[in-house]
Structure 1
Amino acid sequence: MSRTDESTPARVLVIDAGEESAFRPLNGVGGIPGPVAAYPQFPDMTPLWREAGVTVVRSFDWVSRLDTRNNPTSLFPDWDAPVDDPASYNFAATDEWVEAVTAAGAEVMFTVASSIPSNKLPAQDIDVYGRVVEHIVRHYSQGWAGGPSQPIRIYEFGDQPDFGPLHFGGRPEEFYAMYQAFCAAVRRVDPSLTVGGPALAFPLEMDAPYREGFLAFVRENDLPLDFFSFLWFTDGSRDPLDYRYVSAELRALLDRHGFTDTDLTLCYWNYLAVPSSSAPAAEKGAFQAATAIYLQDTVIDHAFFFRADSGRDPHYGFVDPGGVGTADDGPDERSRALALAGRTLAGRRLAVTGGDESGLACAAGRDDDVVRVLVANYVAPDVALAERAEDRFTFRIPIGAERIELGLTLPPQRPELESAGSTSARIDVRNLPWAGRTVSVTRTSTTGNVDGPRDAQVSEAGDIQLDLDLAPQSVFLVELQAR
């Protein structure tokens, strides 16, 4: 329960437009770009991605899976087919999505993994597997067999191999061998391409085969690991600062194992992932915006919001609750939060003080003659504030008739998660370069409400003050544009 009453003072958020720095490049997403011939039901997400300034898209949720068994939808449908023949490959739908992403101004991080959930088995012939991977990379990076116009430079191997029996059905040693073959294949095409993995599902489990075991194998075999990827959702905590704790733990892990130059990639993030978890769209949108702000002050090098599409899934056959937008593909608080955060966290970062670590988060940026201030008032639900018996979260995943029970270690519970109960804020922007001038002010909310543009006066000292009402689970973007 948040601490709020009529005497709660307005929060003062101070933005210093004279103190600039760089934003971390964390504006990636996972999701399906839009319809193709085989999947006409997918809505076109590229207008939203353009508005949000998405820079990179992870491909795993596409049909671009390299299955390890015969599968007509796989990139290589028949493992008895000739590896060197372009006709043996199934590139059409994936090529369309790559072109859609690049047309939207983003690049692709291409994930190599099997056709989960229908197949989780390891490769039967590791040498043939490596040759197939090589041809796929040649297609997407060098144009072999009519590849796309813009080369793909980033390749990830694996997707949650530690996710119980759901994502990899082999032994860890078989996964390691597939990563070794993957690395060799990519390097044969172009040693300058970026490679990494393994999209760890449970990053806080210590002495685990796909954490310490994977890193030991990579080190012992002198394999490249340009980035180490992991995912995190907050079903068990509802805490947007989980990402700070988890990333610090993983950074220390990588450094201890000698991977000081390996980037840390958050390949999935969102509020909730377990199908039985639920929350209103406004709560999810406020969490998204607050988390996007807090991520800027972590050691994460790259991040992908999952999932920035409708949630329709060609592999699982259901609508993923992590999607954005309404059931009829209209905008909602989640899609608007994606857009408002993306617009703000670009250009040059401005210094901000006055936010807290309880969900009231603020970030500001300047892009030429526009200053943007993003304010999120995320309020954690009561279920997240009740004292835990242990830092452990267990859940069940339905796969057809199966109910798979899994568990993971959580960061320590933070008493600071409880909201301070602020219901209003004063935005105090200082040192603007437009002293004494009139600016236009526009306030945009994740509810869809737009107030303005309205004229406002900057003081002779370069300052301006604006007031906001902050309901729980609200997000506002305030834009100041010089006239």
Structure 2
Amino acid sequence: MSHPSRTRTLIVDAAAESAFRPLNGVGGVPGPVDGHPDFPDMTPLWREAGVTVVRSFDWVSRLDTRDNPTSLFPDWSADVDDPASYNFAPTDQWIEAVHAIGAEVMFTIASSIPKNKLPAEDVELYGRVVEHIVRHYSQGWAGGPAKPVRIYEFGDQPDFGPLHFAGRPEEFFAMYRAFCTAVQRVDPSLTVGGPAIAFPLEADAPYREGFLAFVRENDLPLDFFSFLWFTDGSRDPLDYRYVARELRTLLDDRGFTETALTLSYWNYLAVPSSTAPAAEKGAFQAATSIALQDTVIDHAFFFRADSGRDPHYGFVDPGGVGDVDGRPDERSRALALAGRALTGRRLAVSGGDESGLACAAGRDGDTLRVLVANYVAPDSALAPRDEDRFTFRIPIGEQRIELGLTLPPQRTELASAGVESARIELQNLPWTDATVHATITSLSGEVEGPRPVAVSAEGTLQMDLALAPQSVFLVELTA
């Protein structure tokens, strides 16, 4: 038996309901299409995980600013008004695949990184092309999808050194204005935002304060402000709480109180040289999914919820889930378990901590779910920092681009409390003096049950779980 200090009691109050935040978005390639038959079909996993919205940026659906046969508009000397001038087919297939699982699409307008990062040569022409792309995906122009796309994002990491945008901030801002004007010509009720900044804690930055000032001065719409965050430099699931609070204050102080906060990318690691076991990544994913519910983030996209095969960079991104052929691993299962758990009505939970032991519960119809994650940060993340700064190198061909970013303050609470087991006490259950069926699914894929368990006359139930480091369990109770 574990020492008492190694056991944690987690209390779920089924009578205290609230709403989950809608944070179950993903980025990634849905599956095989013409020209890319080697991409595995991720839609069964996305369906199991209850994915609600998919960000398109990592698809082939990029609007390059120079002639490119794979671009949405391959030839900039072509007739803008002629449907034959556009290359919609692969993207249409992916949008239909996303719509088929009941999810929406957030369509990102950005150039064909890494091959081209140049600004538009003719901003007015660029806007007219954007308009036709939006008409295709929102109004069915040129045989567009039956179900309209209603969310459009502009830009992807324009602040990422010379790697994503090789123009001046003023040129990027002019393209955003052309983008907004084009979308409004199609339908003013469509949702627009951007610019998916890579380094959200850099103060007085051109693509942060500078971008917001341009939007305000030009009276442009900004329904959401998007950013991304990975934890290579901290390994801390609560980074997102800190970063989001900083950005929310920034937006509110500048009058953007109605602008939503969108986390366009999140994951454990993003730098190609960063490594960790799949179980550690999966435990982090589950713990972070739970932690995100108590942030001021309005929408979030896990990146990347596919095999990591990339149509642009020509390598397998370490941020994927499963193996290169799509077979599941702990990262895939974490995505599915968290997605299944954080649906329906949220139930009050107490007993977790800020050291990696996280718990959430929800009730969806006749099923009650409890998700428990025991993420243990590696020793490298616990060593005292010299400064709250993370520097890294990105290999692009023969180049080695060195970049750096500001980190949230280091938390001493990140060190694991060493919990080895948990007692889950469920109170005020919707069933009294009854037998329900319990199923426990772990990060390894092992499934225990369903087995009958008794609910007391007072509507209470207790269950015990052994919690190894980097473990995740989903408990499902059904009448």
Q: Name the residue aligned to 2:269.
A: 272
Question: Which of 201, 209, 212 is the aligned partner of 2:198?
Answer: 201
> Is residue 402 of structure 1 aligned with residue 435 of structure 2?
no
Aligned residues of 2:307 and 2:325 also touching (Cα < 8 A): no
> Is residue 132 of structure 1 aligned with residue 129 of structure 2?
yes
Q: Name the residue aligned to 2:382.
A: 385
Residue aligned with 1:134, SS: helix
Question: Which of 146, 151, 166 is the aligned partner of 2:148?
Answer: 151
Alpha-carbon distance in 1 for matches of 2:138, 2:6: 56
Q: Name the residue aligned to 1:116.
A: 113
Q: Name the residue aligned to 2:234.
A: 237
1:68-87 matches, cutoff 5 A: 68-87=65-84
Q: Name the residue aligned to 1:429.
A: 426
Aligned residues of 2:290 and 2:359 also touching (Cα < 8 A): yes
Question: Which of 319, 322, 334 is the aligned partner of 1:337?
Answer: 334
Q: Name the residue aligned to 1:301.
A: 298
List per-residue Cα deviations over 1:261-302 (Å, max 9, x = no partner).
000000000000000000000000000000000000000000
One-letter code aligned to 1:278: T
Alpha-carbon distance in 1 for matches of 2:324, 2:191: 37
1:292-371 matches, cutoff 5 A: 292-371=289-368
Q: Name the residue aligned to 1:466.
A: 463
One-letter code aligned to 2:355: S
Alpha-carbon distance in 1 for matches of 2:419, 2:57: 40
Alpha-carbon distance in 2 for matches of 1:58, 1:356: 31
Q: Name the residue aligned to 2:97.
A: 100
One-letter code aligned to 2:408: P
Alpha-carbon distance in 1 for matches of 2:131, 2:326: 38
> Is residue 228 of structure 1 aligned with residue 196 of structure 2?
no
Residue aligned with 2:5, SS: coil
Alpha-carbon distance in 2 for matches of 1:381, 1:368: 38
Residue aligned with 1:8, SS: helix
List per-residue Cα deviations over 1:40-67 (Å, max 9, x = no partner).
0000000000000000000000000000
Q: Name the residue aligned to 2:443.
A: 446
One-letter code aligned to 2:20: F
Alpha-carbon distance in 2 for matches of 1:71, 1:298: 40
Aligned residues of 2:308 and 2:324 also touching (Cα < 8 A): no
Q: Name the residue aligned to 1:418.
A: 415
One-letter code aligned to 1:155: Y
Alpha-carbon distance in 1 for matches of 2:176, 2:165: 13
Alpha-carbon distance in 2 for matches of 1:218, 1:379: 42
Q: CA deviation at 1:7?
A: 5.5
One-letter code aligned to 1:127: E
Alpha-carbon distance in 2 for matches of 1:282, 1:210: 35
List per-residue Cα deviations over 1:169-218 (Å, max 9, x = no partner).
00000000000000000000000000000000000000000000000000
Alpha-carbon distance in 2 for matches of 1:9, 1:120: 52
Residue aligned with 1:41, SS: coil
Q: CA deviation at 1:10?
A: 1.1
List, as ranges, runs of 4+ consecutive aligned residues in structure 1 with deviation greater than 2 Å.
5-9, 326-329
Residue aligned with 2:432, SS: coil
Alpha-carbon distance in 1 for matches of 2:243, 2:265: 13
> Is residue 177 of structure 1 aligned with residue 174 of structure 2?
yes
> Is residue 38 of structure 1 aligned with residue 38 of structure 2?
no
Question: Which of 213, 218, 223 is the aligned partner of 2:215?
Answer: 218
Residue aligned with 2:214, SS: helix
One-letter code aligned to 2:158: P
> Is residue 8 of structure 1 aligned with residue 5 of structure 2?
yes
Q: Name the residue aligned to 1:167.
A: 164
Q: Name the residue aligned to 2:139.
A: 142
Residue aligned with 1:452, SS: strand
Q: Name the residue aligned to 1:258.
A: 255
Q: CA deviation at 1:433?
A: 1.2
List per-residue Cα deviations over 1:294-322 (Å, max 9, x = no partner).
00000000000000000000000000000
Alpha-carbon distance in 1 for matches of 2:400, 2:442: 39
| Count of residue pairs the alignment pairs up | 478
One-letter code aligned to 2:447: V
Q: Identify the range of structure 1 (8-17 vs 344-353) with the bigger mean alpha-carbon deviation.
A: 8-17
Aligned residues of 2:306 and 2:326 also touching (Cα < 8 A): no
Q: CA deviation at 1:140?
A: 0.2
Alpha-carbon distance in 2 for matches of 1:330, 1:99: 23
One-letter code aligned to 1:229: S
List per-residue Cα deviations over 1:4-54 (Å, max 9, x = no partner).
x95633100000001100000000000000000100000000000000000
Q: CA deviation at 1:149?
A: 1.1
Q: Name the residue aligned to 2:22.
A: 25
TM-score by length of 2: 0.99
Question: Which of 272, 285, 290 is the aligned partner of 2:287?
Answer: 290
Alpha-carbon distance in 1 for matches of 2:128, 2:232: 40
One-letter code aligned to 2:373: A
Alpha-carbon distance in 2 for matches of 1:195, 1:313: 26
Unaligned runs of 5+ in 1: none
Q: CA deviation at 1:330?
A: 1.2
Alpha-carbon distance in 2 for matches of 1:98, 1:327: 22
Aligned residues of 2:154 and 2:194 also touching (Cα < 8 A): yes
One-letter code aligned to 1:215: L
List per-residue Cα deviations over 1:408-459 (Å, max 9, x = no partner).
0000000000000001000000000100010000100010100000000000
One-letter code aligned to 2:83: P
TM-score by length of 1: 0.98
One-letter code aligned to 2:93: E
Alpha-carbon distance in 1 for matches of 2:453, 2:233: 44
Alpha-carbon distance in 1 for matches of 2:145, 2:366: 36
Q: CA deviation at 1:250?
A: 0.1
Alpha-carbon distance in 1 for matches of 2:266, 2:205: 21
Residue aligned with 1:54, SS: coil
Unaligned runs of 5+ in 2: none
Aligned-residue sequence identity (percent) comes to: 81
Residue aligned with 2:143, SS: coil
One-letter code aligned to 1:193: L
Alpha-carbon distance in 2 for matches of 1:206, 1:307: 27
Residue aligned with 2:6, SS: coil
One-letter code aligned to 1:315: H
One-letter code aligned to 1:204: L
